[in-house]
Structure 1
Amino acid sequence: MVEIDGAQVDMDDPCAVVSALRAAELKLATGGGVVMTRFGRDNEIRWDRGSLTGLSELISKYERMCERKSGIRSRFAKRMRFVR
């Protein structure tokens, strides 16, 4: 379990992590101050307005993990054919 801004989230469910991180991002973007993420007992990260880009990168990472777990394709192959 991971604590993201006071909410307990299961690390094995990337979709749940994404929704908790998005809520934290929204709180920071609207001037909510500092958001804390705790991984285990010793690892603690504090996010503030200056670290929104790092938080966005973390959200993107967990979104890709969620898509893979859900079976959603995020990239599609494209075919082209030249016609004379």
Structure 2
Amino acid sequence: MNYLYKGSQSQERLNALLSFGKSTSEDIKAALNDYLVRGISKTNAATLNGVPASNLTRALKRLEVVAGKIEKIKELDYRLR
């Protein structure tokens, strides 16, 4: 299941997601921000920030894993109520 898509995140949520993952370069973070927060296409976000599209895609996949784990915890918490 995909939790992250174009324009779906607030800046605060993206920062929180990034804090759980591997260290990411500032260029990739800026491209992720452009895609996930500002809603710019992946290709344009990569180009605007001078990163290969494949690196942005890889970073998105890693961030998707983090988002999935967080959603799983939220689901478990909801069941406990």
TM-score when normalising by structure 2: 0.35
Larger radius of gyration: 1
The structure with the largest helix share of the pair is 2
TM-score when normalising by structure 1: 0.34
The higher-RCO structure (CA 8 Å, 6+ apart) is 2
The structure with the largest strand share of the pair is 1
